[in-house]
Structure 1
Amino acid sequence: MRQGIDSLAYIIKQRFELDPFSGQVFLFCGGRKDRFKALYWDGQGFWLLYKRFEKGKLNWPSDEKEVKELNSEQVEWLMKGFSITPIIKTTNSRDFY
Protein backbone atom coordinates (compact mmCIF):
# COMPACT_ATOMS: atom_id res chain seq x y z
CA MET A 1 0.00 0.00 0.00
CA ARG A 2 2.96 2.30 -0.47
CA GLN A 3 2.13 3.30 -4.04
CA GLY A 4 0.81 6.76 -4.73
CA ILE A 5 -1.23 8.16 -7.61
CA ASP A 6 1.43 7.88 -10.31
CA SER A 7 2.42 4.32 -9.43
CA LEU A 8 -1.17 3.11 -9.26
CA ALA A 9 -2.03 4.80 -12.59
CA TYR A 10 1.01 3.08 -14.12
CA ILE A 11 -0.14 -0.33 -12.81
CA ILE A 12 -3.62 0.24 -14.26
CA LYS A 13 -2.22 1.15 -17.66
CA GLN A 14 0.68 -1.29 -17.99
CA ARG A 15 -0.33 -4.39 -16.06
CA PHE A 16 -4.09 -4.37 -16.67
CA GLU A 17 -4.09 -2.49 -20.01
CA LEU A 18 -6.87 -0.17 -18.81
CA ASP A 19 -7.16 3.61 -18.99
CA PRO A 20 -6.68 5.33 -15.60
CA PHE A 21 -8.26 8.48 -17.11
CA SER A 22 -11.52 6.63 -17.98
CA GLY A 23 -13.52 7.95 -15.02
CA GLN A 24 -13.79 4.47 -13.52
CA VAL A 25 -12.83 3.83 -9.91
CA PHE A 26 -9.91 1.42 -9.47
CA LEU A 27 -9.53 -0.37 -6.14
CA PHE A 28 -6.31 -1.80 -4.68
CA CYS A 29 -5.99 -3.89 -1.54
CA GLY A 30 -3.08 -4.18 0.87
CA GLY A 31 -1.44 -7.47 1.79
CA ARG A 32 -3.12 -7.64 5.19
CA LYS A 33 -6.51 -7.23 3.48
CA ASP A 34 -7.66 -4.76 6.11
CA ARG A 35 -7.20 -1.64 3.95
CA PHE A 36 -7.61 -0.50 0.38
CA LYS A 37 -7.05 2.47 -1.90
CA ALA A 38 -9.34 3.81 -4.60
CA LEU A 39 -8.01 5.81 -7.56
CA TYR A 40 -10.41 7.96 -9.58
CA TRP A 41 -9.90 10.55 -12.36
CA ASP A 42 -12.60 13.28 -12.24
CA GLY A 43 -11.57 15.07 -15.44
CA GLN A 44 -9.34 17.59 -13.68
CA GLY A 45 -7.20 15.42 -11.43
CA PHE A 46 -6.94 12.17 -9.53
CA TRP A 47 -8.64 11.36 -6.27
CA LEU A 48 -6.82 8.87 -4.05
CA LEU A 49 -8.99 7.49 -1.25
CA TYR A 50 -7.73 5.26 1.53
CA LYS A 51 -9.76 3.15 3.94
CA ARG A 52 -8.57 1.00 6.84
CA PHE A 53 -10.90 -1.32 8.70
CA GLU A 54 -10.32 -1.37 12.45
CA LYS A 55 -11.91 -4.81 12.75
CA GLY A 56 -12.11 -7.53 10.15
CA LYS A 57 -10.61 -8.09 6.73
CA LEU A 58 -11.71 -7.82 3.14
CA ASN A 59 -12.71 -10.77 1.00
CA TRP A 60 -10.36 -9.83 -1.84
CA PRO A 61 -9.07 -11.60 -4.98
CA SER A 62 -5.83 -13.47 -4.25
CA ASP A 63 -4.20 -12.86 -7.65
CA GLU A 64 -4.56 -10.92 -10.91
CA LYS A 65 -6.58 -13.73 -12.53
CA GLU A 66 -9.37 -13.07 -10.03
CA VAL A 67 -9.58 -9.31 -10.75
CA LYS A 68 -13.06 -8.31 -11.83
CA GLU A 69 -15.31 -5.37 -12.50
CA LEU A 70 -17.66 -4.47 -9.65
CA ASN A 71 -21.11 -3.00 -9.92
CA SER A 72 -22.17 -0.09 -7.71
CA GLU A 73 -23.84 -2.39 -5.18
CA GLN A 74 -20.64 -4.42 -4.74
CA VAL A 75 -18.60 -1.23 -4.23
CA GLU A 76 -21.09 -0.13 -1.57
CA TRP A 77 -20.75 -3.52 0.17
CA LEU A 78 -16.97 -3.20 0.08
CA MET A 79 -17.04 0.32 1.56
CA LYS A 80 -19.14 -1.02 4.44
CA GLY A 81 -16.80 -3.96 5.05
CA PHE A 82 -18.95 -6.68 3.54
CA SER A 83 -17.91 -9.35 1.05
CA ILE A 84 -18.03 -8.30 -2.62
CA THR A 85 -19.32 -11.72 -3.63
CA PRO A 86 -22.77 -12.70 -2.41
CA ILE A 87 -23.01 -15.88 -0.36
CA ILE A 88 -25.41 -18.37 -1.87
CA LYS A 89 -27.19 -20.48 0.71
CA THR A 90 -27.92 -24.01 -0.35
CA THR A 91 -30.61 -26.19 1.10
CA ASN A 92 -29.85 -29.68 2.26
CA SER A 93 -32.07 -32.37 3.70
CA ARG A 94 -31.10 -31.56 7.31
CA ASP A 95 -32.84 -28.16 6.99
CA PHE A 96 -36.25 -29.84 6.89
CA TYR A 97 -38.16 -31.34 9.81
Structure 2
Amino acid sequence: MIGLDSQARIWLCTEPTDMRKSFRGLSALVRNQLKHNPLSGQYFVFINRRKTQMKMLYFTATGYCLWAKRLEQGQFRVPLSASGQKPLTLTDLQLLIDGIEVQKYRQFKRFQGV
Protein backbone atom coordinates (compact mmCIF):
# COMPACT_ATOMS: atom_id res chain seq x y z
CA MET A 1 0.00 0.00 0.00
CA ILE A 2 0.99 3.58 -0.51
CA GLY A 3 2.43 5.24 2.59
CA LEU A 4 -0.54 7.46 3.45
CA ASP A 5 -0.99 9.30 6.70
CA SER A 6 -3.95 7.98 8.69
CA GLN A 7 -5.24 11.57 8.97
CA ALA A 8 -5.10 12.15 5.19
CA ARG A 9 -8.21 13.50 3.49
CA ILE A 10 -9.20 11.18 0.64
CA TRP A 11 -11.91 11.98 -1.90
CA LEU A 12 -13.43 9.47 -4.32
CA CYS A 13 -14.91 10.87 -7.53
CA THR A 14 -18.01 8.70 -7.98
CA GLU A 15 -18.58 9.76 -11.58
CA PRO A 16 -16.70 7.83 -14.31
CA THR A 17 -13.39 9.39 -15.38
CA ASP A 18 -11.49 9.17 -18.66
CA MET A 19 -8.31 7.27 -17.74
CA ARG A 20 -6.37 8.90 -20.59
CA LYS A 21 -6.13 11.97 -18.36
CA SER A 22 -2.87 12.52 -16.54
CA PHE A 23 -1.62 15.18 -14.11
CA ARG A 24 -3.11 18.26 -15.77
CA GLY A 25 -6.43 16.68 -16.76
CA LEU A 26 -7.05 15.13 -13.35
CA SER A 27 -6.03 18.30 -11.48
CA ALA A 28 -8.50 20.22 -13.67
CA LEU A 29 -11.22 17.70 -12.68
CA VAL A 30 -10.36 18.23 -9.02
CA ARG A 31 -10.59 21.99 -9.40
CA ASN A 32 -13.66 22.23 -11.67
CA GLN A 33 -15.78 19.17 -10.88
CA LEU A 34 -14.95 18.33 -7.26
CA LYS A 35 -14.39 21.99 -6.27
CA HIS A 36 -11.20 21.29 -4.29
CA ASN A 37 -7.69 22.64 -4.53
CA PRO A 38 -5.46 19.95 -6.09
CA LEU A 39 -2.41 21.51 -4.37
CA SER A 40 -3.92 20.99 -0.89
CA GLY A 41 -2.15 17.68 -0.23
CA GLN A 42 -5.44 15.78 -0.20
CA TYR A 43 -5.79 12.54 -2.17
CA PHE A 44 -8.21 12.28 -5.09
CA VAL A 45 -9.29 8.87 -6.44
CA PHE A 46 -10.81 8.38 -9.90
CA ILE A 47 -12.31 5.24 -11.49
CA ASN A 48 -13.20 4.62 -15.14
CA ARG A 49 -16.66 3.78 -16.54
CA ARG A 50 -15.99 0.02 -16.71
CA LYS A 51 -14.68 0.16 -13.10
CA THR A 52 -11.51 -1.71 -14.04
CA GLN A 53 -8.99 1.13 -13.63
CA MET A 54 -8.21 3.48 -10.77
CA LYS A 55 -5.97 6.53 -10.52
CA MET A 56 -5.07 8.52 -7.43
CA LEU A 57 -3.69 12.04 -7.67
CA TYR A 58 -2.02 13.94 -4.85
CA PHE A 59 0.46 16.76 -4.40
CA THR A 60 3.60 16.67 -2.29
CA ALA A 61 6.14 19.39 -1.58
CA THR A 62 8.06 18.47 -4.73
CA GLY A 63 5.17 18.02 -7.19
CA TYR A 64 2.22 15.90 -8.29
CA CYS A 65 2.14 12.14 -7.78
CA LEU A 66 -0.06 9.79 -9.76
CA TRP A 67 -0.75 6.21 -8.69
CA ALA A 68 -2.61 3.81 -10.99
CA LYS A 69 -4.06 0.30 -10.81
CA ARG A 70 -5.68 -1.79 -13.55
CA LEU A 71 -7.62 -4.94 -12.74
CA GLU A 72 -7.14 -7.99 -14.93
CA GLN A 73 -10.52 -9.33 -13.86
CA GLY A 74 -13.41 -8.08 -11.77
CA GLN A 75 -14.42 -4.52 -10.97
CA PHE A 76 -13.94 -1.91 -8.27
CA ARG A 77 -17.05 -1.49 -6.12
CA VAL A 78 -17.75 2.24 -6.18
CA PRO A 79 -20.24 3.60 -3.66
CA LEU A 80 -22.71 6.03 -5.24
CA SER A 81 -23.03 9.61 -4.11
CA ALA A 82 -25.44 12.31 -5.26
CA SER A 83 -22.77 14.99 -5.01
CA GLY A 84 -20.34 13.18 -7.34
CA GLN A 85 -17.75 12.75 -4.60
CA LYS A 86 -17.44 10.70 -1.43
CA PRO A 87 -14.98 11.11 1.42
CA LEU A 88 -13.03 7.95 2.25
CA THR A 89 -10.99 6.87 5.22
CA LEU A 90 -7.66 5.14 4.76
CA THR A 91 -9.37 1.84 5.62
CA ASP A 92 -12.11 2.47 3.03
CA LEU A 93 -9.47 3.13 0.38
CA GLN A 94 -7.55 -0.03 1.26
CA LEU A 95 -10.75 -2.11 1.08
CA LEU A 96 -11.63 -0.54 -2.29
CA ILE A 97 -8.17 -1.27 -3.70
CA ASP A 98 -8.20 -4.85 -2.39
CA GLY A 99 -11.72 -5.51 -3.73
CA ILE A 100 -13.32 -6.13 -0.36
CA GLU A 101 -16.92 -5.03 0.10
CA VAL A 102 -18.22 -4.82 3.66
CA GLN A 103 -21.86 -5.89 3.82
CA LYS A 104 -22.40 -5.34 7.53
CA TYR A 105 -20.20 -3.14 9.68
CA ARG A 106 -20.23 -2.88 13.44
CA GLN A 107 -17.59 -1.15 15.50
CA PHE A 108 -17.37 -1.78 19.22
CA LYS A 109 -16.37 0.85 21.77
CA ARG A 110 -12.75 0.74 22.82
CA PHE A 111 -11.21 1.91 26.04
CA GLN A 112 -9.06 4.99 25.68
CA GLY A 113 -6.49 5.57 28.36
CA VAL A 114 -5.75 9.00 29.74
TM-score higher than 0.5:
yes
Q: If the TM-score is normalised by the length of the shorter chain, which range does it land in? A: 0.7 to 0.9
Could you tell me how far 1:8 is from its partner in structure 2? Answer: 0.5
The alignment-based identity, stated in percent, is 29
Query: What is the distance in 2 between the residues matched to 1:58 and 1:10?
Result: 23
Alpha-carbon spacing, 1:14–1:4, altered in 2? closer, same or farther (3 Å): same
Q: Which runs of 4+ in 1 moved over 3 A?
A: 61-64
- Output the aligned Cα RMSD: 1.8
Answering whether residue 66 of structure 2 is matched by residue 14 of structure 1, we say no
**Matching residue of 1:35:** 53
Q: Is the 8 A contact 1:61 1:67 kept in 2?
A: no
Instruction: Return the structure number with greater helix share.
Output: 1
Higher relative contact order, chain-length normalized (CA < 8 Å, sep 6+)? 2
Higher deviation after alignment, 74-83 or 17-26: 74-83
Q: Match of 1:71, as an amino acid?
A: T
TM-score, length basis structure 1: 0.79
Query: What is the distance in 2 between the residues matched to 1:66 and 1:88?
Result: 24
Answering whether residue 22 of structure 2 is matched by residue 4 of structure 1, we say yes
Gaps (5+ residues) in structure 2? 1-18, 106-114
SS of alignment partner, residue 69 of structure 1: strand
Residue-by-residue CA offset, 1:35-78 (whole Å, 9 max, x unaligned): 11000101211111110111210111456625211001001111
Q: Match of 1:87, as an amino acid?
A: Q
Instruction: Return the structure number with greater strand share.
Output: 2
TM-score, length basis structure 2: 0.68
Larger Cα Rg: Structure 1 or Structure 2?
1
Match for 2:104 among 77, 88, 97? 88
